[in-house]
Amino acid sequence: MRMWFLSAGLALMCMAQNAAAGTVLIVGDSISAGFGLDTSKGWVALLAQRLKKEGFDDNVVNASISGDTSAGGLARLPAALAAHKPDVVVIELGGNDGLRGQPPAQLQQNLASMIDQSRAGGAKVLLLGMQLPPNYGPRYTKAFTEVYGLLAKEKNVPLVPFFLEGVGGNPELMQADQLHPSVGAQGKLLENVWPTLKPLL
């Protein structure tokens, strides 16, 4: 009988641990999807390793798709929220909107909707900001960059101002296309995210 209680107690402890384990959902584009890389070496995979190393039980779900825009992310977010019921949603989108010259106001509206839907599902939100190369013109690049700061203030969400800080514009940390971070940059991307993400876990 004593062994039965002991076994039952261990089972309940395991169930409690599993119940306490949260889910971090990454909704992004090629940068988070690990375009051109072995995905096991991408920053999202490194995040999963960091969580385990620091004693977190959270699962990491990478719902990032190369080439995706904020409109694409918004369209597929409801299904991702229903399937994974995340505790934290990390939104890494907008780069492709900018490269295609789409209106910053539309980007802001799409990201705002993603934030609202994520919160309605019970998740905390982290927004990863992006910037464009200067050849897109000062007026457009300024309006694009400001979207993230305005949203962070309006929605009161934590923001990493520039996800590619220390990586973008550095040829040694970019792939040959100079658009996608190399494998050597993935640790830096994680370090850019981690201090702002950790308090949300």
**What gap in Å lies between CA 151 and CA 105, rounded to an integer?**
11
**What gap in Å lies between CA 200 and CA 61, rounded to an integer?**
16
30 is catalytic: yes
Two tokens, residue 87? 């505790």
116 is catalytic: no
Out of 64, 70, 118, 180, which one is annotated catalytic? 180
181, 189 Cβ separation under 8 angstroms: yes
180 is catalytic: yes
Cβ-proximal residues to 74 (8 Å cutoff; 6+ apart), any chain: 110, 113, 114, 117
Out of 29, 32, 177, 182, which one is annotated catalytic? 177
Distances (CA, A) of 164 to 31, 84, 154: 9, 27, 23
Out of 30, 32, 64, 70, which one is annotated catalytic? 30
**What gap in Å lies between CA 126 and CA 149, rounded to an integer?**
12
Q: Which residue has the tokens 């889910």?
A: 23
Q: Which residues are catalytically annotated? A: 30, 177, 180
